[in-house]
Amino acid sequence: MIIDILTIFPSFFNTPLKESLLGKAIEKRIISIRVHDIRQYATDKHKTVDDRPYGGGAGMVMKVEPIVRAIEALQKLPPKGWILLLSPQGNIFTQKKARQLSSLPRLILICGRYEGIDDRISNFIDEEISIGDYVLSGGEVAALVLIDAVARLIPGVVGNVESVISESFERCLLEYPQFTRPRDFRGYKVPEILISGNHEAIRRWRIKQSILRTKKRRPDLFSKAVLTDEEKAILHEIEEGNDQ
């Protein structure tokens, strides 16, 4: 996959794109991430990318012309990119959307700043995406969130495929609790079942904990979960109080 990022702060991405799974995926050429400075597509001598809003108001608004010029220049290179604007007004980003985007050959991400982008940009993009109902200083942080979520779904980025499949939100169930050494930390002990050596009992315990956690912490998510027959049976046992 190729990911192009349009931003007025290209150095923002210098370190994050070199670290952890993303850095390794780029080194292995599984994904290619290219960062472009929107200012390079401004035509005036000051490389202006923002201006005062028509009608008045606080702050500045990003100009549409440099961004569209950047998009048009990038789209001349194959393959054609799916153009995404990171915006608080977009559709909420979900694991389902991450999986959809991971199947595309190329993404072009636009990072907004200031009071937003001239609304006419909507005529030149494919989709607006928001990572949540809160305000950030700019779209750069949101772009990193989207890139990380999408990249890990591309074959070869995460070494253990099963870990991706079993992760939270893939099936609308939170992951079961995990523990490691020491077995006893300040009186807080690892559940005995996990050191029992009974693999079948451990497997069922983990299913139960996943169900219990989701019901308690994210009932909204649990309402969307499509349970297997075994999970339904365990849920019934929990509700009947016969889950020991």
Residues of the chain with pLDDT under 70: 160-168, 242-244
CA geometry: angle at 112 spanning 71 and 144, to 5°?
90
Write phi, then psi, for 97 (nearest 5 degrees).
-65, -40
Fold of 2-159: Alpha/beta knot (3.40.1280)
- Closest by Cα among 45, 113, 11, 48 to 121: 113
pLDDT tens by residue, 145-200: 999 999 999 999 997 665 565 565 778 899 999 999 999 999 999 999 999 999 99
Q: Do domains 2-159 and 166-240 have the same CATH topology?
A: no
Note the pTM of the prediction, 2 decimals.
0.87
CATH architecture for segment(s) 166-240: Orthogonal Bundle (1.10)
CB 222 within 8 A of CB 172: yes
Q: β-pairing, 61-62 with 50-51?
A: antiparallel
Question: Which DSSP string do the residues of 108-148 spell out, in sequence order?
Answer: EEEE-BTT-B-GGGGGG-SEEEESSSS--SBHHHHHHHHHH
Question: What are the extents of the domains in the chain?
Answer: 2-159, 166-240
- Closest by Cα among 93, 92, 90 to 112: 90
